[in-house]
């Protein structure tokens, strides 16, 4: 990316031994370099830019000098230079976030993830996941392309239960 800004192949390496997309250690005094390359960095003006190795795992992007420049974004977020904004970090991709019988789900609220029981399990009072006793078909419901008597019975039972609750609720 920086070579593209300068207009000559390998000039960036020749000038300042790139990459330094944060422009902290720029040795070049070229006005073109300083005005164009460093102005692209949204975090530079407050000297908050840094390059985090764990957010630069796309080899093709690195090969093309498209580094993920990280700005402080808040917990559970990371700066993505390709979209120039903070996005939700995939905290669940880190190992050992949740106990073995739980699934990790990324969230927008602090701390950025939540441990939930796997499908077919429910959390008890002791923070353990226990089986619900429902089969997979019962959990997901029936999936028929044509009307099916069991589906109709199930739906009518559900509607009856729902109606009885509506009659009980105060208006």
Task: List all residues 6 or more positions away from 120 whose beta carbon is below 8 Å from its beta carbon.
Answer: 131, 132, 134, 136, 139
Q: Which residues of 35-56 are buried (b: 16+ CB within 10 A; e: fewer)?
A: eebbeebebbeeeebebeeebb
Look at residue 151 and tell me whether its pLDDT is greater than 50: no
Closest CA to 157 of 135, 144, 142: 142
**pLDDT on residue 61:** 74
SS3 content of the chain, % helix, strand, coil (to 5): 35, 15, 50
pTM score above 0.75: no
Separation of alpha carbons 2 and 36, rounded Å = 9
Separation of alpha carbons 15 and 9, rounded Å = 11
Per-residue pLDDT tens digits for 93-106: 877 888 888 889 88
How far the first Cα of the chain sits from its last, in Å, is 64
Per-residue pLDDT tens digits for 6-40: 556 655 554 444 555 666 555 555 555 444 545 55
């Amino acid at each position: 990316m920086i070579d593209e800004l300068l207009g000559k192949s390998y000039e960036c390496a020749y000038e300042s031994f790139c990459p330094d997309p944060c422009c902290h250690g720029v040795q070049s005094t070229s006005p073109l370099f300083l005005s164009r390359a460093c102005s692209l960095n949204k975090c530079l003006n407050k000297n908050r830019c840094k390059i985090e190795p764990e957010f630069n795992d796309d080899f093709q992007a690195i090969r093309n000098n498209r580094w993920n420049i990280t700005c402080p974004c808040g917990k559970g977020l990371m700066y993505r230079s390709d979209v120039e904004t903070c996005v939700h970090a995939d905290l669940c991709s880190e190992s050992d976030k949740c106990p073995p019988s739980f699934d990790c789900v990324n969230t927008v609220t602090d701390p950025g993830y939540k441990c939930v029981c796997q499908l077919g399990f429910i959390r008890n009072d002791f923070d353990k996941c226990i089986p619900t006793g429902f089969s997979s078909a019962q959990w997901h419901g029936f999936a028929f392309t044509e009307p099916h008597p069991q589906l109709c019975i199930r739906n009518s039972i559900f509607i009856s239960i729902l109606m009885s609750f509506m009659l009980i609720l105060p208006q």
